[in-house]
Structure 1
Amino acid sequence: MLPATRGRDVEKTSKRLRAIDAPAAPPLSLEDLYRQQRMRMVRLAILLVDEPATAEDVVQEAFTGLYRNWAGLRDSAAALGYLRAAVVNSSRSVLRRRKTARAYQPPHQVNARSAESLAMLTAEHRAVVDALSALPPRQREVLVLRYYGNLSESEIADATGISKGAVKSTASRALDALKRTMA
Structure 2
Amino acid sequence: MLEGSAERSVEATLGHLRIIDGPAPAREAAPAPLTLEDLYRQHRMRLVRLAILLVDEPATAEDVVQEAFTGLHRNWGNLRDAAAAIGYLRTAVVNGSRSVLRRRKTAREYVPPHAVNARSAESLAMLSTEHQAVVSALSKLPPRQREVLVLRYYGGLSEAEISEAAGISKGTVKSTASRALEALQKAMQTSN
TM-score normalized with structure 2 length: 0.41
Structure scoring higher RCO (CA < 8 A, sep ≥ 6) equals 2
